[in-house]
Amino acid sequence: MIIRSTQKLGMKLFEVVESRFSTAFGESWNPFYNLGALSFFFFWIVAASGVYLYAFFDTSITSAYTSVESITNNHFYIGGIIRGLHRYASDAMVVTMTIHLFREFLMGRFRGARWFSWLTGVPLLWLVFASGINGYWLVWDQLAQYIAILTAEWFDWLPFFSAPMAQNFLNEASLSDRFFSLLAFLHIGIPLTLLLMMWVHIQRMAKAKSNPPRGLALGTLAALIILSIAKPAVSQAPANLDRAVTDVQLDWFFLNLYPLLDTVSPGDLWGLVGFITLLIAVVPWILPKGKYSIATVNLENCNGCERCFIDCPYDAVTMQPRTDGMSFSHEAVVRTNLCVGCGICVGACPTATPFRRQTQLVAGIELAEFPLKNLRNEVLQASETLSGTDRVMAFACSECGKDKLARQPGVAVVPLPCIAMLPPSFIDFVISKRLADGVFLTGCETANCYHRYGSQWTEERIEGKRDPQLRKRVPRERVARLWTSAVNGGRVQQEIKQFRSRLRDVGPMRDDYASMKQSLSFVSSETGGNIHDTD
Amino acid sequence: MTEKRNFIGQIIAYLFFAGFLGVLSNYPTYSHTTADQATIKLTMNHSGKLKEKCRQRSEEEMAKLPPNMRVSMDCPRERSPIKLEMIVDGKEIYKETLLPFGLTRDGEATAYRRFNIKAGEHRVQVRMKDDVNTEGYDYHFEQTLTLAPSQVMVIHFDNLLGKFVAI
Ligand code: HEM
Ligand code: SF4
Ligand code: SF4
């Protein structure tokens, strides 16, 4: 309960900040909507600059420091800038990753089948930090010395080592190349493992956004380059193990926990980070999962058109060879362990049309506990509460939308798990049957859809760019939609108000459209799944 | 559809982000030790004496063993845990019993400890006991050390010399 309300409050805060960013960047470039993609982008910057640095880096402990100094000072400006990019892009990755984590948490995008992305995110935290700390070690300056000693002391608490690792760093005399070269190789190994795990992390998402939009990418890169020039990344004084490190400039993004080691024991720090890691890892299992219904295929109505397969944002639908002897080559199969119950597949299915008779209103793919029959009943009931010439039937995504639409007379609200669950034929149905004078759709901002592609698919279906399309004969002045975040309740109200006044201006429905639909309605569905819902 | 954008707003956001990175990547400076402090590192890798002496197996015991393992001497390999202490200016600042490494406890016992103390002159004593079968300490180290600010002094057990040395 407390967690739920903190989540809500946190998300509100995010939305307030994000809507500002949307004003400046436009929705699609909004950095908050591209945090995962930006993390990827920073990784590539770090990787590319790292290759340059590594080419000139000397992996022996005696020459490491001077080789880094030489890159910084003797490569004209290039070396210094590249070093700056390497450092600051790493820092930036910590920032975007951390905000990404909080955001996915607050949005509840770890629930149900989405546990996979969450859990595979956890090792990324460790790998990012390990890569960065390992990198600072290689410079072999005062900071590196500080890191070397504290990290070794920290690891020595674990019972794995036959001799303490910290004995490698007792004094200048005890220093050996072997351990240092190992670290240099780890600085390739750990980031490669990170990349592999990043790839695993996005496996369960169809069309994962792992590249930021070009405008955002260029802007960010420019910012990092300017930073690298304004505040070059430089080494501190060279390491000298015969003298203790006193004042040291820390990179607080990576080393924020190190000062703790001056006051708490290594064991306690292991306890703390272990606890935090575990706490993050178990989030999908200790927090309420939320109720949702899995999609199921009704084979007799599936014609194998692949639309659900194409539209599912979670790769939960696969197409497999037909098993029931029908003449179609394929059938849709839901991988239930991947399905998050968004219903987007239902909205994509050509057989999902409310014009069918009640007994036959079964689509090729349906949410088990929220069948289309129920949706149609809800629409019919909602319609009965409306009167006047500006009646609006509003369909809203229940993640971001329901609250935006405060109850008001003359507007009936039908919530859906995702706005893209609504087959476009329902819009046609509502208007042609005069269940309302206009249909209003609202869902999350396109670039920030809770179900990833819900708003975009809906928009494209209405604009006739994606199957199933909204029929051309539906009068467009009677359809309005708004993709916006939950904080913009005011805008939604205003939009609805304007929409209703437009509806009043347009006046009541023309009879010909209605009667034409009347005669077409309840088409017999002998055609099976082959109902054409495009003009 | 082209989106509305406000480039001034973007530039402000980018500058803020770059500033945030640039500052927290370097500041605030952290004081790990103060300039008037010195460091002593106490370290040791040492095998304790065998815990039990070898002894002759009796006839009966021999008979119980499989033929290929019938060795008349029974020599348990477990080593004594090591007691290690450090006393600075008469105050005990460290005392630990270190277990030999390995599941059968037959390896070396190792120690590593770092202490920050005020620079200057100090009377440092280290005592070590590596045999459970005797009384008292087996190794003693006592020396007056003069530590310069930030100096790192290593006191380690030299296995060849069989004693602690400070370097
Ligand atoms: C190196 C760090 C990381 C990178 C590069 C990264 C990248 C991404 C990308 C590209 C997406 C897909 C966004 C989309 O297309 O909708 C994503 C989604 C997600 N990430 Fe991360 N991520 C990172 C760290 C994390 C961490 C630490 C967590 C949490 C523990 C996490 C949890 C999630 C979740 C829950 C989703 C959404 C899954 C869904 O929508 O079903 N990620 N991440
Ligand atoms: S409800 Fe449909 S679209 Fe949504 S995840 Fe499940 S199968 Fe995919
Ligand atoms: S008919 Fe419906 S269930 Fe079958 S493949 Fe097409 S969209 Fe999927």
| Distance (Å) of CA A245 to CA A253, B34, B113 | 20, 9, 16
Entry field: residues in chain A: 535
State whether A246 and B33 contact (CB < 8 Å): yes
User: Bigger pLDDT: A535 or A196?
Assistant: A196
State whether B152 and A253 contact (CB < 8 Å): no
State whether B21 and A92 contact (CB < 8 Å): yes
Q: Which two tokens stand for residue A348?
A: 């994509």
State whether A251 and B26 contact (CB < 8 Å): yes
Strand B73-74, strand B55-56: pairing: antiparallel
User: Mutate which of B16, B30, B39, B164 to disrupt the A interface (most A C-beta within 10 Å)?
Assistant: B30
List the single range of A89-103, A154-168, A388-402, A418-432 with lowest mean pLDDT.
A388-402
Over residues B89-116, the pLDDT tens digits come to 999 999 999 888 888 888 888 999 999 9
Q: Would you give the DSSP letter of residue B31?
A: E
Over residues B22-74, the pLDDT tens digits come to 999 999 999 888 889 999 999 999 888 888 888 888 888 888 888 888 788 88
For residue A20, give how far its alpha carbon lies from the nearest alpha carbon of chain B (Å). Answer: 9
Q: Following DSSP, what letter does each residue of A439-503 receive, concatenated?
A: EEEEES-GGGBTTBSHHHHHHHHHTTSSSSPPPTTS-GGGEEEEE--GGGHHHHHHHHHHHHHHH
Assess B33–A contact: CB distance below 8 Å, yes or no.
yes
Q: Which two tokens stand for residue A358?
A: 């009640």
| Per-residue model confidence (pLDDT) at position A531 | 38
| Per-residue model confidence (pLDDT) at position B74 | 81
**Chain A partners of B116 at a C-beta cutoff of 8 Å?**
244
Element (H, E) at A97: helix A78-106
- Residue B24 CB contacts under 8 Å (≥ 6 apart), including other chains: A91, A251, A252, A253
Does residue B21 register a pLDDT over 60? yes
| Per-residue model confidence (pLDDT) at position B48 | 84
Does residue A36 register a pLDDT over 60? yes
Does ligand 2 have an atom closer than 6 angstroms to the CB of A295? yes
Mean pLDDT over A397-401 rounds to 76
Q: Output the ligand 3 site: residues, CB below 6 A.
A: A 297, 302-308, 332, 348-351, 364-365, 529
Q: What is the CA radius of gyration of chain B?
A: 28
Mean pLDDT over A413-419 rounds to 92
Buried b / exposed e along A381-407 (16+ C-beta atoms within 10 A): ebbeebeeebbbbbbbbbbbbbebbee
Mean pLDDT over A513-522 rounds to 47
Over residues A217-274, the pLDDT tens digits come to 999 999 999 999 999 999 999 999 999 999 999 999 999 999 999 999 999 999 999 9
| Per-residue model confidence (pLDDT) at position A508 | 80
Does residue A11 register a pLDDT over 90? no
Question: Which numbered atom of ligand 1 lies nearest the CA of A40?
Answer: 5
Of residues A304, A109, A130, the one with CA closest to residue A201: A109
Q: Which amino acid is at A359?
A: T
Q: Where are the domains of chain B?
A: 37-51+79-166
**Chain A partners of B10 at a C-beta cutoff of 8 Å?**
24-25, 219
Whether the Cβ atoms of residue A93 and residue A43 lie closer than 8 Å to each other: yes
Whether the Cβ atoms of residue A354 and residue A414 lie closer than 8 Å to each other: no
Mean pLDDT over A502-516 rounds to 72
Element (H, E) at A20: helix A2-25
For residue A1, give how far its alpha carbon lies from the nearest alpha carbon of chain B (Å). Answer: 34
Does residue B14 register a pLDDT over 80? yes
Q: Considering only CA atoms, which residue is closest to atom 8 of ligand 3? A: A308
Mean pLDDT over A527-531 rounds to 36
For residue A237, give how far its alpha carbon lies from the nearest alpha carbon of chain B (Å). Answer: 14
For residue A92, give how far its alpha carbon lies from the nearest alpha carbon of chain B (Å). Answer: 7
Buried b / exposed e along A446-467 (16+ C-beta atoms within 10 A): bbbbbbbbbbbbbbbbbeeebb
Of residues A283, A313, A317, A314, the one with CA closest to residue A302: A317
Over residues B145-156, the pLDDT tens digits come to 999 999 999 999
Mean pLDDT over A175-201 rounds to 93
Over residues A299-316, the pLDDT tens digits come to 999 999 999 999 999 999
List helix spans (H) across A139-265.
Answer: 142-156, 177-201, 214-230, 252-255
Confidence of residue A453 (pLDDT cuts 50, 70, 90): very high
Q: Which amino acid is at A31?
A: P
| Distance (Å) of CA A408 to CA A19, A401, A498 | 25, 15, 14
Q: Output the ligand 1 site: residues, CB below 6 A.
A: A 36-37, 39-40, 97, 100-101, 104, 109-110, 114, 117-118, 121-122, 124-125, 128, 198, 201-202, 205, 208-210, 280, 452
For residue B37, give how far its alpha carbon lies from the nearest alpha carbon of chain A (Å). Answer: 9
Pairs of CB atoms within 8 A across A/B: 142
Over residues A118-157, the pLDDT tens digits come to 999 999 999 999 999 999 999 999 999 999 999 999 999 9
Ligand 1 mean position, distance from CA A129 (Å): 16
Q: Following DSSP, what letter does each residue of A254-306 receive, concatenated?
A: HHTTGGGGGTS-HHHHHHHHHHHHHHHHTHHHHS-------EEE-GGG-----
| Per-residue model confidence (pLDDT) at position B116 | 92
Does residue A3 register a pLDDT over 90? no
**Which residue does chain B place closest to A263, by CA atoms?**
B32
How far is the C-alpha of A512 from the C-alpha of A481, rounded, in Å?
25
Average predicted confidence (pLDDT) for chain A: 89
- ipTM of predicted assembly, 2 dp: 0.88
For residue A249, give how far its alpha carbon lies from the nearest alpha carbon of chain B (Å). Answer: 5
Share of chain B above pLDDT 90, in %: 52
| Per-residue model confidence (pLDDT) at position A162 | 82
| Per-residue model confidence (pLDDT) at position A406 | 66
The most distant pair of C-alpha atoms in chain A lies apart, rounded to whole Å, by: 96
Of A24, A230, A248, the CB nearest to B10: A24
Q: Which structural domains are found in chain A, ordered by start?
A: 2-286 (1.20.810.10), 295-532 (no CATH)
Does residue A38 register a pLDDT over 80? yes
Strand B120-129, strand B139-147: pairing: antiparallel
Q: Considering only CA atoms, which residue is closest to atom 1 of ligand 3? A: A302
Does residue A51 register a pLDDT over 70? yes
The secondary structure of A392-435, three-state, reads EEEEEECCCCHHHCCCECCEEEEEECCHHHCCHHHHHHHHHCCC
Element (H, E) at A58: none
| Per-residue model confidence (pLDDT) at position B93 | 92
Ligand 1 mean position, distance from CA A420 (Å): 22
Average predicted confidence (pLDDT) for chain B: 89
How far is the C-alpha of A381 from the C-alpha of A502, rounded, in Å?
25
Assess B37–A contact: CB distance below 8 Å, yes or no.
yes
Whether the Cβ atoms of residue B78 and residue B122 lie closer than 8 Å to each other: no
Does residue A534 register a pLDDT over 70? no
Q: What is the CA radius of gyration of chain A?
A: 29
State whether A164 and B41 contact (CB < 8 Å): no
Mean pLDDT over A18-38 rounds to 93
How far is the C-alpha of B55 from the C-alpha of A328, rounded, in Å?
85
| Per-residue model confidence (pLDDT) at position A526 | 34
Crossing angle between the packed helical segments A424-432 and A454-462, to the nearest 10 degrees: 50
pTM: 0.86
Query: Would you put residue A432 in left (φ > 0), alpha (ψ -120 to 50) or beta?
Result: alpha
Over residues A462-479, the pLDDT tens digits come to 999 998 999 998 999 999
Q: Which two tokens stand for residue A48?
A: 């590319």
Strands (E), chain B: 29-31, 37-46, 55-56, 73-74, 82-88, 91-98, 109-118, 120-129, 139-147, 152-158, 163-166
Confidence of residue A533 (pLDDT cuts 50, 70, 90): very low
State whether B112 and A219 contact (CB < 8 Å): no
Q: Which amino acid is at A454?
A: G
User: Mutate which of A25, A263, A455, A460 to disrupt the B interface (most B C-beta within 10 Å)?
Assistant: A25
Q: Enumerate helices (H) and strands (E) in chain B, giving the number of each.
A: 2, 11
| Per-residue model confidence (pLDDT) at position A270 | 97
User: Mutate which of A96, A245, A254, A256 to disrupt the B interface (most B C-beta within 10 Å)?
Assistant: A245
State whether B150 and A29 contact (CB < 8 Å): no
User: Bigger pLDDT: A515 or B14?
Assistant: B14
How far is the C-alpha of A219 from the C-alpha of A227, rounded, in Å?
12
For chain B positions 136-155, those within 8 Å of chain A (CB to CB) are 150-152, 154
Strand B152-158, strand B120-129: pairing: unpaired
State whether B32 and A223 contact (CB < 8 Å): no
Fold of B37-51+79-166: Immunoglobulin-like (2.60.40)
- First CA to last CA across chain A, in angstroms? 49
Confidence of residue A27 (pLDDT cuts 50, 70, 90): confident
